Amino acid sequence: MTNPMTDELHRILSCIGKRVSFKYPGNEGDKHGILKDRAVVESTNESGAVPYWDVVDLIEFKDEKEPEWIRIGYYRKPKHTLNWGSQTTITEPVSIWKRIFVNAAQEKKWFRDLLEDIMIELKK
């Protein structure tokens, strides 16, 4: 018997190497890149009615000054169909993510504590 979670994980990871595109609102244009890598974390859902998977994507936009961008999004599986659930995401160059995290950690102790906890966990 096949584990359905393994099938979903395989489908989510199978997007690596494929094209991604963004359509900005109004006349801001489109952006096209390649999904270079993806981390997947099965998400907890209190009700358990619909399974979710959170993803952190590394996307390459070759024509950008900084070609490596990070996007955070999620998939969900209502009924029997796996769907990309993030119609709106934050997708920024790696340097901007760093700036966001540094500024948030400087401004908010709870965020700094989270980052410190992460570093402790990584050292284990």
Q: Would 67 be classed as within a structural domain?
A: yes
Write down the pLDDT at residue 3: 52
User: Which pLDDT does position 101 carry in this prediction?
Assistant: 96
* Radius of gyration, CA atoms only, the chain: 17
What are the 10-residue block averages of pLDDT along the chain, 124 residues in total?
68 96 85 96 80 95 95 91 87 95 97 96 95
Is residue 30 in some structural domain? yes
Residue 78's CB is within 10 A of a number of other CB atoms, namely 11
- Whole-model pTM: value is 0.84
Q: How many domains does the chain have?
A: 1
Pairwise CA distance, residues 109 & 24, whole Å: 34
Does residue 57 form part of some domain?
yes
Tell me if 70 sits within 8 A of 92, measured CB to CB.
yes
What range does the domain containing 9 cover?
Answer: 4-93
Residue 83 placed within a domain: yes
Residue 100 confidence (pLDDT)? 96
DSSP per residue, 44-107: P-SS-SS-EEEEEEEEE-TTSSS-EEEEEEEEE-STT--EE--SS-EEEEHHHHHHHHHHHHHH
**Residue 103 located in a structural domain:** no
- pLDDT at residue 1, as a whole number: 44
Say if 62 falls within a structural domain: yes
Distance of alpha carbon 68 from alpha carbon 39, whole angstroms: 15
